[in-house]
Structure 1
């Protein structure tokens, strides 16, 4: 998994039949260098027929390197790098060549997970909810709960674990809540030359400016009924809203924006969740977590509290989804992407 935060490639092994999780295995992480990150960032927003420069080779080499260190897998789920996402418009573009990756590694690869869903009228995102449903079973959840992924973009999965399968009506509701780490990363890169606000230290020094926060929450996206999804740069206006603020106040305000977007999103849940389990880099930001705990009416905790690995959950998700694709099982449904009926996505490159 290479996400919108552009920090690096996560790889993780999961043992599954595509329905239940039997076990989790080894994992690995390969960070991007500054030059590699710059190459990838330079092509955000571009489509397959645009000039992508050296970015495809950067992505390929990084994946080959990290996956070469994980042996014993029967199949690889390859997400690719999302460059552009415009469901209902031009479609979706996850850069990456599954055929080339399969040839380089000598293992079957499942990839291009989102296109089929978008072609059938879905949002193409988020795709982790079916895996979250399996995780709810793995941890023995009995009451409705929510998984909150705070990556570059925030996404929420509401789950009723009492349903038999993730594609069943009422089992899942999933959608992008709004921007999360990506705009904060962009801010600190521009102002301080940092890749991210480590431990929320800069935000902790600042004060939230309510006027900017209110303007942010006026965005029409928050009124849309889910399922709904975002592109990484859909909320680039956030930087404009904090342009005149000090570095610390800007970081605090943008962190509050990400948390407030989640709070707005919770209003769409079919029933109040028993708890919210947080994954993604945002769970390591104490300021973000404190804001969520103060604003939500249920316990908020990192997924590690229930024995899951928040650094690797998305990578595990695409391994799980790869097995579902091989077995002809759906990977998205009306409640997760808004597609008309449950659909299985993904292309298979065999060696």
Structure 2
């Protein structure tokens, strides 16, 4: 096997450029496509990317790609790939699949064919007569067919990368950790500036911001499927974790504050923050947005307020946005970033956004409203 492998960091729609910037920041050149960032890198990139990527959904290892319009072509093309370079003799290799605009549209049939083909290749390479034992490490294979091109990958992450391991509680519509991190990275907030979220919910945006502010790797406190792979020497994982430890800035001071009308969400936010290892780094307070008090200039707000999508909620959401706008109009030095699906947000907030960006919060089409503050020169 060559020293370099091909990897895909999958991304939510609209976040491809953010994920690409993160991968470049780790030192790898990328190619950006719909829903994914493709790059070649040494094997050590698997631990590093899983540990550090804040906005990617998963990191997948590309085994091969070829054209397949018949089941025979799919079988033979799969069998020709070097599966033994990646899957150990006792490895488990369940196969999932999807097919878009392809001749081979039956996903279950494609999965069975790929599974059988991989098994035949591995049995021949490992000198086995009976079926593969599949009692060892997990190698989740995916067959993805797009316009008759078959892409075979193995998932290196296991549980999705949004699962940081710190969420012990959540509200009714929690924001994914990967999306929360993206909302922070799409701003020009830096840890020396005050940051607040007056609609903090379970605290995800502010927890992700604190991790970014102290440069703590988001995957530091979780496990990954590829940690069990023979392909990746334990030394590479040790080096990746040590790098994360060395680059963390635990002494970086932060002024981050979260508030919410619901006292239960404040308790959940506190618990999640403690689980993330942030201790009392974030100040949490039960409060309605109209009572928001701002004492410093040049701060930032990043928020995901209620959308008012349930029956009877629209009027209350309008009032919340009006109160929010009335508070912030007296603080023009503050930058405000708001993710919402409420199309009349600007009307009730009372000000047109400097910039808007289309994003998908799960399957909900949203806008990210961005108001750039007029910076006031701070005294040294």
TM norm structure 1:
0.31
- Whichever structure has more helix as a proportion of its residues is 1
RCO greater where, 1 or 2, for CA within 8 Å and sep 6 or more? Answer: 1
